[in-house]
Amino acid sequence: MPKIIENLEEKILTSAEKLLFEKGYQSMTMRGVAEDCGIAVGTVYNYYKSKDMLVAKIMLKDWITIIKDIEHKCSSALDIHEGFKIMYDGVSFFVEKYNVVWTQYGKEINVRKEMPVYFELLIAQLSEILNEILVRCYNETDEYVSIFLSEILLNAATKKEFEYENLSRILFRMFKSNE
């Protein structure tokens, strides 16, 4: 009779995240995760087909937490500037946390093929939050403005040399006449 381990998937994710940040993407292995959890490597593969899928799940779990926090904070933003800053800070935190991992992870051929899909999903999530702010604060919505600003935000947050103050100036000019 197989032994039943409570919260096994959570244990696998916790172990994998720990190893991911201790050893890096290249050195983290499914076998290492299994050993850390005290289970057979096949058990890890029952939950995740590959290391890529496991790392994607770790990142997705964090992203969901961050996007919920952004949504919560933005629900009380007084204007687009405050909401945009909240979003920028959340995305920047995520980018900074996963920067080293992403550099290694992004080199995988199957990950590179999926990048545009992930990018579009992030844009859609951020755009939806921006649209809610536009409706609440300005009683208007513009899908193209929200998408455009979301793409700029995502790109700026991934570039350390692009300071938020510059982004803020551009945003201020765009919405100056609306306030």
Quote the tokens at residue 67. 């996007």
pLDDT in tens, 28-80: 999 999 999 999 999 999 999 999 899 989 999 999 999 999 999 999 999 99
Distances in Å between the alpha carbon of 108 and those of 20, 99, 103, 146?
15, 15, 10, 31
Distance CA 147, CA 30 (A): 37
Distance CA 112, CA 108 (A): 6
> CB count, 10 Å around CB of 92?
16
Query: For residue 4, with 0-12 CB atoms within 10 Å meaning exposed, 13-18 middle and 19 or more buried, which class applies?
Result: exposed
Quote the tokens at residue 160. 């350390």
Confidence (pTM): 0.85
pLDDT in tens, 25-36: 989 999 999 999
Question: Is 95 within 8 Å of 158 (Cβ atoms)?
Answer: yes
pLDDT in tens, 113-155: 667 788 899 999 999 999 999 999 888 888 899 999 999 999 8
Give me the pLDDT at residue 177, please.
Answer: 53
The alpha carbon of 57 is separated from its chain's Cα centroid by a whole number of angstroms, namely 11
Distance CA 49, CA 130 (A): 35
Q: CA dihedral defined by 49, 51, 57, 59, rounded to 10 degrees?
A: -160
